[in-house]
Copies of this chain bind each other. A is one copy, B any other.
Amino acid sequence: MKNKPVFGIIGGNGGIGKTFSAELRKLGYKTLIASRSSKLSPEACAQQSDITVISVPIRATVQVIRKLGPLLGKNQALMDFTSLKEMPVKEMLACTRAEVIGCHPVFGPSVSTLCNQVIVLTPGRGTAWFSRVKKIFLKTGAVIKVAKPAEHDRIMAVVQGLMHFTSITLINTLKTLNFSHEEIDSFSSPVYRIRMDFACRILNQNPELYADIEMLNNSISSVLSAYLAENKKLFSAVKHRDREAFIRAFKRASDYLGSKKKSAELKTDKLIDFSSLL
């Protein structure tokens, strides 16, 4: 095992692959890039790298794993950057003899620093490359979380799936009701404006990526179905002016959060003050 492993990033000229390639180079690691515009082919890139990182759209991931996995030897490692982990890790385990690491950087390419950003690692096969990769990623200042692929996907069904879903439905509700969003904004509270800005941010992303995140996660249906049921229940309380049922639902949620509520209020006070300057 060489002192400084070589990273080969497949799809490294766009999005999160580019961010990592830049960070790894800053730390002194050699990175090779195979993208649609590079001279280096994905096959050559994989063969010349210690760790091959697949950073392509989710739908294309399986195909790339099937093409490159068989080319790797057991002293190499195969890793992916997909937002889901069950499906790609299963596919990597089936297609290669190399060590297998699932990885999900839980942030977009626009962050200005990896400091305090979360990177989830899901072990696949082998421990040697896993612990080296973990150490290297820690040097970027990121927070490393380790989870099983299915556990990761269940959490992401909320962190990404539910958040994207509710942003789309919120905006479509305004459209359906024929509201002018500019008019509502002009009448609105800081909390509303920030909530809307984050929904708009999500709607400014790639619909293809968000369709993948929503459609290929095995836990999404149960999460969305629970959300729909909560909405139906609370709507019934509001519609029937059942004040006690409404307050019961409020208190159930409030009790569940415990001390997080107070710290969130202090933090959002600061965000609200900051946002009034933007």
Residues of A within 8 A of B (CB): 106-108, 110-113, 115-118, 120, 143, 145, 147, 152, 155-156, 158-160, 162-163, 165-177, 179, 181-184, 186-192, 194-198, 200-204, 207-208, 210-211, 214-215, 220-232, 234-235, 238-239, 241, 243, 246-247, 249-254, 256-257, 260-262, 264-265, 267-276, 278
Smallest distance from the beta carbon of A164 to chain B beta carbons, Å?
9
Measured in the bound complex, the distance between the Cα atoms of B85 and A180 in whole Å is 20
Measured in the bound complex, the distance between the Cα atoms of B189 and A219 in whole Å is 18
Given A189-B159, A276-B115, the answer on whether A168 and B238 have CB atoms closer than 8 Å is no
Given pairs A110-B269, A207-B254, A221-B238, 7 additional interface contacts (CB within 8 A): A107-B190, A120-B187, A163-B192, A201-B261, A203-B254, A204-B262, A228-B235
Number of copies: 2
Majority secondary structure of chain A interface residues (helix, strand, loop or mixed): helix
On chain B, the residues within 8 Å of A222 by CB distance are 177
A227 touches which of B113, B173, B194 (Cβ 8 Å): B173
